[in-house]
Amino acid sequence: MRFVLLVVLAACGSGGGFPDANTIDSPPELGAFSLQWSVTDSNHQPISCAQVGAAGVTVTYHNRAFAGSLTDVFNCASGSGTTMRVIVGAYDFDYDLHTDNGTQLATVQGPRNVQITSGQTTALDPVTFTVQ
């Protein structure tokens, strides 16, 4: 009986409990990004979103440290948008201008390897969508 008690006490160690019980993962560091856009016709003249039936701007962004992409959709007429918080890291961006039923009017390849930093809102370069 003493042997069993010693083995049990020795197995617990000085920390007690499970090995991971004393460590708690901290939440990821977060940042954000903002974007401004404009719409032009094929002659590079400014036009409104309403003139071409554009309802939204979709920003697709990919954190290089993870698989998959995320999207945020902004009202086209606002001309700008800021994301909710995202995990810090290096991101690739792409932009789409679309109608309210999802028809794509224009696509712009965004910047690559943009660093989103903790506690900051990173302003992306403005985008111009050219619609025929």
pLDDT digits (tens, 9 = 90+) for 16-61: 555 555 566 888 999 999 999 999 999 999 999 999 999 999 999 9
pLDDT exceeds cutoff 70 at 74: yes
- With a CB cutoff of 8 Å and minimum separation 6, the contacts of 10 are none
pLDDT exceeds cutoff 60 at 1: no
Average pLDDT over residues 1-11: 45
Q: pTM here? A: 0.78
Domain ranges in the chain are: 30-130
With a pLDDT cut of 90, the percent of the chain lying above it is 78
Q: Which helix (H) or strand (E) holds 4?
A: helix 2-12
At 130, the amino acid letter reads: T
* Cα 104 from Cα 48, distance rounded (Å): 16
User: Which residues, in sequence order, are bridge partners of residue 104?
Assistant: 98
Q: How many angstroms from the chain centroid is the CA of residue 92?
A: 9
Buried b (16+ CB within 10 A) or exposed e, 74-105: bebeebebebeebbbbebbbbbbbbeeeeeeb
The predicted pLDDT at position 18 comes to: 52
Residue 132: strand, helix, or coil: coil
Q: Which CATH class is domain 30-130?
A: mainly beta
